[in-house]
């Protein structure tokens, strides 16, 4: 599974899943991650995952629901059927609803209403300072506001107290199972059986497309988000705003080494050859997850990232050209490279020349030193 940022070859220090877990079921190690039998299947890890890498049973993709411009009530599976709101959708845990699911329902003309019967904070999945749904609701509301201002009603939490004695028991966690590989790790989550699982994280970093190829799952997740926001903007009678997407900028100093593009988990940043023979970087905002890995890996600090674009500008779905570099020919090895300040040598030859100069300078300095007898 290459959608998990922390398990990719160029690993980022993500870990939001472990931070969100109310029962400390995640154990990140040097060689991967384990999920213990403490897991209660609440889905809060999936709700905060920025790439959609985790799926938990019971949280199916948002269905196409009839009843445009009406409320969609969502309730915890612990609510007895006799006490459930008429027409309410059942989910394993309100805290496991993702911002994308909430936005999808809004795009379909429904207003998600999460019914809290007063049991959330006392539940094993609700052990947190804030309400389990707070982060997803806040992120969904922010995204919706960026594209529809106040013309669309955002998802909301609604209090509907019921006696705690009426709550059904929480689903028991499954017993621990054998260690699994990365693919089986995420397959287990999809199957819904909480168990001790292990994943192997690559430890070697190689700046190649084969080692760090973009994740098709991340691409699909981000494009689904962009599509949902586009439909919300249409409902509001507005153009989709650039404020809903990250903005990457390039500055002086870029030598087009390609490390940033090779490491991009979603392929939002790509190294391209242009029709005029130049090279450069293209950036597709809708696909970017805003992880900032490209910025951290740039050896020349030539990139900067903002999490939101200009609200007054419409979103441009086409990739945007960040850099354009003419290629020069190294006078020593004839390799093509991007020359800065009229450099005649490619970075590799320039480094070799500098190392040789330092070495000989050190030797001559040592031989010229006076000898003491």
Note the pLDDT tens digit of each residue in 210-262. 345 788 889 999 999 999 999 999 999 999 999 999 999 999 888 888 889 98
pLDDT over threshold 60, residue 288: yes
Give the model's confidence band at 333: pLDDT under 50 very low, under 70 low, under 90 confident, else very high: confident
Are 290 and 51 in contact by the 8 Å Cβ rule? The answer is no
Work out the mean pLDDT of the chain and round it to a whole number: 79
The CA–CA distances, whole Å, from 279 to 183, 257, 258, 337 equal: 36, 11, 10, 10
Compute the half-sphere exposure of residue 3: CA atoms within 13 Å on the CB side of its CA.
19
Give the model's confidence band at 202: pLDDT under 50 very low, under 70 low, under 90 confident, else very high: very low
CATH architecture of 216-321: 2-Layer Sandwich (3.30)
Are 56 and 145 in contact by the 8 Å Cβ rule? The answer is no
pLDDT in the model for residue 157: 93
Are 201 and 32 in contact by the 8 Å Cβ rule? The answer is yes
pLDDT over threshold 70, residue 181: no
194 vs 322 pLDDT, higher one = 322
> Tokens for 196?
């001790």
Are 39 and 7 in contact by the 8 Å Cβ rule? The answer is no
pLDDT over threshold 60, residue 189: no
pLDDT over threshold 60, residue 178: no
Mean pLDDT value of segment 10-28 = 79
For the chain, what are the domain ranges? 5-198, 216-321, 328-367
pLDDT in the model for residue 20: 86
d(CA 201, CA 191): 22
pLDDT in the model for residue 179: 41
What is the number of other CB atoms lying within 10 angstroms of the CB of residue 271?
A: 18
> Which range (100-109, 125-134, 142-151, 295-304) has the least confidence?
125-134
- 3 state DSSP class of 9: coil
67 burial level (CB within 10 Å; 0-12, 13-18, 19+) = exposed
pLDDT in the model for residue 3: 78
- 221 φψ region: left (φ > 0), alpha (ψ -120 to 50), beta (else): alpha
pLDDT over threshold 60, residue 199: no
pLDDT in the model for residue 111: 92
pLDDT over threshold 60, residue 201: no
């Amino acid at each position: 599974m290459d959608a998990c940022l922390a398990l990719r070859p160029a690993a980022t220090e993500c870990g939001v899943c472990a931070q969100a877990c109310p029962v400390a079921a995640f154990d990140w190690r040097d060689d991967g991650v384990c999920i213990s039998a403490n897991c209660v299947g609440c889905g809060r890890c999936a709700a905060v995952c920025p790439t959609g890498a985790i799926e938990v049973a019971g949280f199916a993709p948002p269905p196409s629901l009839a009843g445009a411009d009406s409320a969609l009530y969502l309730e915890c599976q612990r609510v007895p059927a006799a006490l459930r709101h008429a027409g309410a959708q059942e989910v394993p845990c309100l805290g496991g609803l993702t911002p994308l699911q909430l936005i999808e329902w809004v795009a379909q003309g429904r207003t998600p209403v999460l019914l809290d019967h007063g049991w959330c904070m006392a539940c094993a999945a609700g052990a947190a300072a804030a309400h389990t749904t707070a982060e997803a609701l806040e992120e969904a509301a922010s995204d919706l506001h960026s594209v529809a201002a106040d013309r669309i009603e955002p998802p909301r939490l609604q209090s509907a107290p019921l006696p705690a004695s009426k709550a059904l028991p929480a689903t028991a966690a499954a017993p621990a199972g054998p260690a699994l590989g990365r693919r089986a790790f995420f397959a287990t989550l999809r199957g819904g059986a909480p168990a001790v699982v292990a994943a192997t994280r690559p430890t070697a970093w190689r700046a190649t497309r084969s080692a760090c190829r973009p994740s098709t799952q991340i691409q699909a997740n981000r494009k689904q988000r962009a599509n949902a926001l586009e439909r919300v903007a249409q409902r509001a009678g507005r153009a989709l705003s650039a404020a809903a997407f990250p903005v990457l900028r390039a500055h002086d100093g870029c030598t087009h080494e390609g490390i940033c593009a090779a490491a991009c988990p979603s392929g939002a940043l790509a190294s391209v050859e242009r029709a005029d023979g130049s090279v450069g970087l293209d950036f597709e905002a809708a696909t970017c997850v805003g992880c900032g890995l490209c910025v951290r890996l740039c050896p020349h600090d030539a990139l900067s990232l903002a999490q939101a674009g200009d609200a007054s500008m419409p979103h441009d779905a086409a990739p945007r050209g960040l850099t354009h570099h003419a290629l020069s020919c190294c006078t020593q090895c004839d390799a093509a490279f991007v020359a800065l300040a009229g450099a005649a040598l490619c970075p590799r030859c320039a480094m070799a020349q500098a190392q040789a100069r330092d070495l000989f300078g050190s030797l001559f300095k040592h031989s010229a030193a006076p000898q003491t007898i």
